Amino acid sequence: MSRKSVLVMLGIASVTAVVIAARPQFHDKATGVQTFVTDVNSANFGNVTVCFKASGLDDALGLAPVTLAAGAGSTATARCRNNGGNCPEAANKFDTSGLSVTENFPIRNGQVTGCITLSVPVPADFCPSQTGTNGQTPVLIAVDYENLTLTLGPIPAGDGHPDTIRKSLGTLAAGNPNSCPAP
């Protein structure tokens, strides 16, 4: 085999190794649920924070969109607390599937790292008479995130990368739909 043939084969092997190594991926040991606030008396009850690290990205992209989303079947339960600090017996569920948050994170040296938090907003019109002295305040008392998913992308096509990469984080649930947290 001539020296030129060997150099060409080494060049092809090097390019192949770079292309294989450049595929975007989440690092399992650095990606997962960092915190899930399960204390119903906390102002941040129901918040879930996921920290992540991904590599194999092109620095020229500048920013990478990352989305944390609750899947179909996710629900939250809230009650209305009156001015006396009591909750009427009705506990009302509302659908949180489709609830998501997206943030852009800077790509540095082919990597992106960060943390993203998903919160459950109680609908503004959840309780009757929310204004005035006879108003009621909505209180989140239970959350159930089904098929929580972390997504990186979309990444521009045409560069050999997939459009998106996903990591399933499973199901998280907390709270008690029969409770009325202290005011």
- What pLDDT digit, counting tens, does each position of 88-107 carry? 776 677 778 788 999 999 99
Q: Where do the domains of the chain lie?
A: 24-175
Q: Which is more confidently placed, 39 or 156?
A: 39
What is the value of pTM for the model shown? Answer: 0.77
Cβ atoms of 36 and 174 within 8 Å: the answer is: yes
Query: CA-based angle 42:80:143, to the nearest 5?
Result: 50
Spatial separation of the C-alpha atoms in residues 123 and 168, rounded to whole Å: 27
Q: Which helix (H) or strand (E) holds 21?
A: helix 3-21
Average pLDDT value for residue range 1-7: 52
In this predicted structure, what is the pLDDT of residue 35?
Answer: 87
In this predicted structure, what is the pLDDT of residue 19?
Answer: 42
In this predicted structure, what is the pLDDT of residue 20?
Answer: 42
Neighbouring C-alpha atoms within 13 Å toward the C-beta of 151: 17
- Residue 44 CB: number of other CB atoms within 10 A? 12
Task: Please give the mean pLDDT across all residues of the chain.
Answer: 79
